[in-house]
Amino acid sequence: METVLGEITVHFEARGSGPYVFLLHGWGSNLTLFNDLAETLSSQYCVVSLDFPGCGGTGEPSEPWGLDDYVKFTSEFISSFDADEIILLGHSHGGRVAIRLATDPDVPFTITKMILVDSAGILPRRSVEYHLRVLSYKAGKALLSWPPVAKAFPEALGALQKALGSSDYSSASPIMRASLVKVVNTDCEPLLPKITAETLIIWGENDEATPVSDGQKMEKAIPGSGLVVLPNAGHYSFIDQEYTFGKVMESFLQIS
């Protein structure tokens, strides 16, 4: 399915009927990762999953976006369904967007329940190695962007980005790279105590992208929230432990 929001054609899927559940995927991913989960939930809910701009079948924005842009886009998308109350699930970057949505007083709907899965949003502590890598990248970029060097070695900058950047960064287009930088440097931790939606936090025990300590911080900060840690699961805990994850969701959402 497709709809148009502003200049962007948005790819999404909707299945089932009943109260709305919206699924927000992580950075560089797409809605297909939620296929099995959406099928399970659609027995009692209308489940809507979308591709964020620059991912899957949705077009890129015309300029780099920050978190507020993603929140505005997602709010407009959800509002197009005319739902007064929704349930929101966010994985990784989708969790970061969900946190911001849940604390935005201007959204025209109420988030009654929220599920944060291996969520981003808490700024990581940066190691000395990380800072050295950033300095090396900035110095190399400055040199390789100098016109005489760029002309002589046109592929060198791309090679540097692949060598020193994250896989998400190196595989992205220039606009999405700039968007990623803006988004990952946004700290959502101060927003957590303001969340009023009933919140379930699910985390993979072996998550290396967003460590389980982030989930523990969220549980302490979000009033009345609960944390479920799934053993033998990484950043994609809903896939790594699909059966257990499904049972937890069925309990939280009262699916019979």
pTM of the model: 0.85
Q: If you write DSSP's letter for every residue of 168-186 in order, what string do you get?
A: HHHTS-HHHHHHHHHHHT-
Who has greater pLDDT, 77 or 168?
Answer: 77
- Rounded distance between C-alpha atoms, residue 24 and residue 26, angstroms: 7
Interval 126-160: pLDDT, tens: 544 443 444 454 555 565 566 775 566 566 655 54
Is 49 in contact with 31 (CB distance < 8 Å)?
Answer: yes
pLDDT (0 to 100) of residue 148: 72
* Residue that has been written with the tokens 């931790």 in this structure: 189
Please report, rounded to a whole number, the percentage of residues in the chain having pLDDT higher than 70.
82
Q: Give the angle 28-30-32 at the CA atoms, nearest 5°.
A: 145
Residue at 136: amino acid letter? S
Interval 70-84: pLDDT, tens: 999 999 999 999 999
Is 172 in contact with 27 (CB distance < 8 Å)?
Answer: no
Interval 172-203: pLDDT, tens: 789 999 999 999 999 999 999 999 999 999 99
Whole-number mean pLDDT of the chain?
89
- Rounded distance between C-alpha atoms, residue 185 and residue 66, angstroms: 9
Please report, rounded to a whole number, the percentage of residues in the chain having pLDDT higher than 90.
79
Structural tokens at position 27: 């950075």
The domain locations on the chain are 2-123+185-252, 128-177
Which are the contacts of 28, defined by CB distance < 8 A and separation ≥ 6? Answer: 55, 168, 171, 172
Residue at 174: amino acid letter? P
- Rounded distance between C-alpha atoms, residue 172 and residue 162, angstroms: 10
Find residue 239's DSSP bridge partners. none
Who has greater pLDDT, 3 or 158?
Answer: 3
pLDDT (0 to 100) of residue 152: 61
pLDDT (0 to 100) of residue 124: 78
Among 139, 140, 165, 144, CA closest to 154: 144
Sheet holding 20-24, edge to edge: 2-5, 8-15, 46-50, 20-24, 85-91, 110-117, 198-204, 226-230
pLDDT (0 to 100) of residue 127: 44
pLDDT at 232 over 90: yes
Q: Element (H or E) spanning 17, and its range? A: none
Task: Read off the DSSP letter of residue 46.
Answer: E
pLDDT (0 to 100) of residue 134: 44
Interval 31-48: pLDDT, tens: 999 999 999 999 999 999
3.40.50.1820, 1.10.30.50, 3.40.50.920, 3.40.718.10: CATH of 2-123+185-252: 3.40.50.1820
